[in-house]
Structure 1
Amino acid sequence: MKQFFLTTMIVVSLVLGTNGIHAQTTETQLNQVELLKQYFGTWKSEYKDTTQMFVFTPYTKGMQGSYKVMTKGKIIYQCKQLWAYDKNSDKILGMQFDKSALGVAVYLCWFSSKNVNETVGLIIRDPEHIEKTNEQWKEEFKSRDLFIQSHMVNNKTVSVRTFMRVK
Structure 2
Amino acid sequence: MKRLFLITTFFLSMMLYTNGLHAQTTEPKLDQIELHKQHLGTWKSVYNDTTETYVYTPYGKSGIQASFKKIFKGKILYQCHQLWGYDKHSNKMLIMQFEKTSPNTTIFLSSFPSKNTNEIVPVIITDADHIRKGYEAWNEVFTSRDLFIQNHLLYNKTIRVRTFMRVK
Which TM-score tier does this pair reach, normalised by the shorter chain?
Answer: 0.7 to 0.9
SS of residue in 1 equivalent to 2:135: strand
What TM-score does the superposition give when structure 1 sets the normalisation length?
0.84
In structure 2, the CA distance between the partners of 1:132 and 1:26, relative to structure 1 (3 Å rule), is closer
1:42 maps to what in 2?
42
What letter corresponds to residue 29 of structure 1 in structure 2? K
Q: Under a length normalisation based on structure 2, what TM-score does the superposition of the two structures give? A: 0.83
In structure 2, what is the Cα distance between the partners aligned to 1:105 and 1:81? 9
Q: Output the aligned Cα RMSD.
A: 1.4
Q: Deviations over 1:1-32 (max 9, x none)?
A: xxxxxxxxxxxxxxxxxxxx969x43100000
Q: Which consecutive residues of structure 2, in runs of 5 or more, have no partner in the other structure? A: 1-21
Deviation string for 1:36-84 (max 9, x for gaps)? 1000000000000000000000012120100000011111110000111
Q: How does 1:10-159 map to 2 (within 5 A)?
A: 25-60=25-60, 61-159=62-160
- How far apart are 1:122 and its partner, in Å? 1.1
- Taking the aligned partners of 2:23 and 2:46, their CA distance within structure 1 comes to 47
Q: Aligned partners of 2:40, 2:110: CA distance in 1, in Å?
A: 16
**Sequence identity, in percent?**
57
CA deviations 1:75-132 (Å, max 9, x no partner) are 1110000111000000111011000110101101100101000011111123321111
Runs of 4+ in 1 over 4 A off after TM superposition: none
Is the CA contact 1:36–1:62 (under 8 Å) kept in the aligned structure 2?
no
d(CA) in 2 for partners of 1:134, 1:34:
27
Structure ID, larger Rg = 2
Q: Which one has the bigger helix percentage?
A: 1
Asked if the contact 1:83/1:93 (under 8 Å) is kept, the reply is yes
The separation in 1 between residues aligned to 2:159 and 2:38, in whole angstroms, is 25
Secondary structure in 1 matching 2:90: coil
SS in 1 for 2:153: strand
The alignment partner of 1:52 has SS state of: strand
The residue number in structure 1 matching 2:161 is 160
